[in-house]
Every structure is written in structure tokens, then in C-alpha cells.
Amino acid sequence: MRTQIGIVGAGPAGLTLALLLQRQGIEAVVLERRDRAYVEGRVRAGLLEQNTVDVMHRLGVGANLDRDGLPHDGISLRWQGETLHVPMRELTGRQVTVYGQQYVVRDLIDACGERGVPVHFEVDGVELHDLAGEPSITFDDGAGRQTLSCDLIAGCDGFHGVCRGSIPAGALREHHFTYPFGWLGILAEAAPAAEELIYAWHERGFALYSMRSPSISRLYLQVPADESIETWPDQRIWGELQARLGVPGWRVEEGPIVDKGITPMRSFVAEPMQHGKLFLAGDAAHIVPPTGAKGLNLAVNDVRLLSEAIGRYFSAGDSSGLAGYGEAALRRVWRAQDFSNFMTQLLHRLDDGDTFGSRLQLARLEQLRRSTAAITNLAENYVGFPATDDF
């Protein structure tokens, strides 16, 4: 088998890249370890920046998003019974859209099918070869060991994928930060009791009120990093959500929990996101804690930049875009790392054995109420900075 771009991973990064390339007349093949139902059913985050919505529209995959996505003009921050509305649209002219990542993935897979972009599910044992010369990917597809020769490889296989590990030690610099807590997330058949997201600071720990539709709520609780989901029966989850999010006269709407899980929180960046003819994108190259809602948006931004660079390489033989890909992508990655870390450190119970940290958090929250500069900074970062060709 031969193609121009071999893409490993059918998450938002790999699928969006395949479609962006197809639009430019560049051939790609996507290789995915899991089956289609698993990939489409995996409940993840779901907050799309305007840049991400723009890419979906440009690809002509925005019909479901336009119908089912929930555009939001603001978020609220809540602490000690007070609620501060952040009017993002008023402050920045931009908005965000709530639309589950698994729906994004479903829509992208459908579009690949309609446009003849090959996505091979359930491939095992992916290995990359000759990254400096004539690259190829070998894998098992049920019929035996296959070889896919390609001009370039895109490593879009997430944090636990194989692509990053195919880069020789010493050629990548990795930056890690692990938080001592995780998020317990639930999906519940309950009408959201709020129209916009609520990020709550609470002495018992952080909580987030989000949603997927007018009848489905998505909620999160800060829990210790090593927590087992077995210790969280539904009743305990609702009790804790009410305690952390509720205010006099307002309660979280409860209903049957249809999905629950605990995700660890970490920050991670692998620089320079490329090696020879391999280019990393999305979670394969970086992880952010979900508090800033940046993971999916960074993945889409990476492949927007990468597809433009690949386009120039094939249409004009200009490889300068490819050479500068990592540097351009990393500018936004580090901006998002800083913002995600800021939101995380602002809102989570820090367990530092002292009250100094929590008093600083309250002072920062108070500053957001008093300072237009401070709240505008938060809003600008949250909605995402406009896309350019080097950021």
C-alpha cells in the first residue's frame, strides 16, 4: 500500500487532518487501533472554541453541530455562595459551543466515509520505520502484516500512542507536571439547571456544571488522583455536587447517571513535535488539564497548521512550513498550558496543608470581579485567540 500521508489515530486530530488534506487533493490513510463503535462512544470533553467550529464548517461537517451544538456567550465562576458571570462575548466578540467530542468524532468519521478517505479500524501492532528517509508504517489488519509506504507520517495517536515513542531518545524534550487530583465525570439524564457552564471553587474541592443537550447534563468533581470509582455510588456523587455547586434557592438537577469515570490530570508537552518525516499532533504531543477546555481545540489547531504546511510542501515544493510546524503549534500549546494551569490552580482544592494557597485563590477570584483587565484576560484565553498562520 502507498499513500501520501499515513495518519496514526482516528481521534479529532487524525480525522480532521485527513479531511483537511482531502480538501487539498492530498491522499491520506488513517490507521486506528480501536473499533468504530468504541471511538464514537468514548465520552470526553465537549467545548469547542470558535476556531474549532470554523474548521468544522470549512470542512463542510458542521450540519449536526449547527443543529445540536449549544452556543454559549459566557460562563460563571462560583465561590463562597457568590456567582460571577464572565460575559465572554461582550468582552471578546467571540463565543464557544458545547458539543461532545464523541459527536465531533462521529461526524468526522461519517464525512471520511462519504468522501472516500480510508479509515482502517482495529489495526494492531503499528510500527513506524525510516523516519529520516523513506517512511513506512507496518501493522496487522486481521488479514496479516501490512506495509503502508508514505511521504510523511502524522502521529495523531494520543498520549498513550506509539508515534511519540518512535522518536529516538534525545531528539525530544518532554515537560511534565502531574496534579495530585483528578476529575470524576458523569453524564446524567437530567435537564441542565443552568444555561451556561458553572466553574465552582469550594472548600470540599472543585466542581463543574456542564451539559450536552437540553436533557443531558455533564458534571465533574475534583477527587484525589488515585481515587477508585467504586467508592463513588451515585448518591454520593449527587450529594457532593449539591454541596459544591448549590446555592440558596438553586440546586443541581438530578437524574439517572448513564456514564461515569475518573480522569487523571496532567500537563505534558513534547518538543519539538516533529522528527524527520514524522509530525506529532494533538494529545500525542501535549496534554492539558481539562479546566481550560483546551485539549480538543489544541488538537484541531495543530492539524490546521500541519495541513497548511503539508499543502505548501506538495503544491509548491516549499518545506519551510513543515520545518516550522512544531514551533508554530507550540506557541498556542504553551499559551494553553499556561491558561489551563492558571484555571486549575485557581479553582481546585490544593491540599497544601496550609490556608495560604486558598486565600490567594480567593484574592484572585475577587480580582476578577473588580478588574476588567483581569476578567478580559480570562475571557480571551477561554474563547481562544483567533487563528493565524503561525499560532
- So which residues are the catalytic ones? 72, 199, 290, 294, 382
Which cell numbers hold the place of 173? 524534550
Q: How far is the CB of 176 from ligand PHB (least distance, A)?
A: 21
Give the count of residues interacting with ligand PHB (CB under 6 A). Answer: 10
Which cell numbers hold the place of 69? 451544538
> Which residue's CB is nearer to ligand APR, number 238 or number 339?
339
| Beta-bridge partner residues of 82 | 79
Q: How far is the CB of 183 from ligand PHB (least distance, A)?
A: 8
Query: In 49-81, which positions are buried (b, 16+ CB within 10 angstroms) versus exposed (e)?
Result: bbbbbbbbeebebbeebeebbbebbbbbbbbee
Binds ligand APR by CB under 6 A, chosen from 5, 6, 11, 199: 11
Binds ligand APR by CB under 6 A, chosen from 48, 53, 126, 154: 126
Q: How far is the CB of 162 from ligand APR (least distance, A)?
A: 4
> Which residue's CB is nearer to ligand PHB, number 6 or number 46?
46
34, interface contact from ligand PHB, ligand APR, none, CB < 5-8 Å by kind: ligand APR
> Which residue's CB is nearer to ligand PHB, number 209 or number 279?
209
Binds ligand PHB by CB under 6 A, chosen from 50, 51, 97, 291: 291
Window 344 to 383, contacts with ligand APR (CB under 6 A)? none
Is 217:260 a contact under the CB 8 Å cutoff?
no
Q: How far is the CB of 254 from ligand PHB (least distance, A)?
A: 18
Residue 296 in contact with ligand APR, rule: CB under 6 A: yes
> Which residue's CB is nearer to ligand APR, number 44 or number 129?
44
Q: Which residue's C-alpha cell is 525530544?
A: 172
Window 37 to 76, contacts with ligand PHB (CB under 6 A)? 45-47
Window 36 to 95, contacts with ligand APR (CB under 6 A)? 39, 44-45
| Beta-bridge partner residues of 257 | 188
Is 98:47 a contact under the CB 8 Å cutoff?
yes
Residue 340 in contact with ligand PHB, rule: CB under 6 A: no
Window 174 to 203, contacts with ligand PHB (CB under 6 A)? 197
Binds ligand APR by CB under 6 A, chosen from 158, 205, 311, 326: 158
Which cell numbers hold the place of 303? 492539524
Give the count of residues interacting with ligand APR (CB under 6 A). Answer: 27
Site string for ligand PHB, 211-230 (x = CB under 6 A): -------x------------
> Which residue's CB is nearer to ligand PHB, number 217 or number 361?
217
Stretch that binds ligand APR, among 295-303, 311-319, 355-363, 371-379 (CB under 6 A): 295-303
299, interface contact from ligand PHB, ligand APR, none, CB < 5-8 Å by kind: ligand APR
Window 256 to 285, contacts with ligand APR (CB under 6 A)? 282-284
Which cell numbers hold the place of 220? 465533574
Residue numbers of the site for ligand APR (CB under 6 A)?
A: 8-14, 31-34, 39, 44-45, 101, 126, 156-158, 161-162, 282-284, 295-296, 299
Residue numbers of the site for ligand PHB (CB under 6 A)?
A: 45-47, 98, 197, 210, 218, 290-291, 293
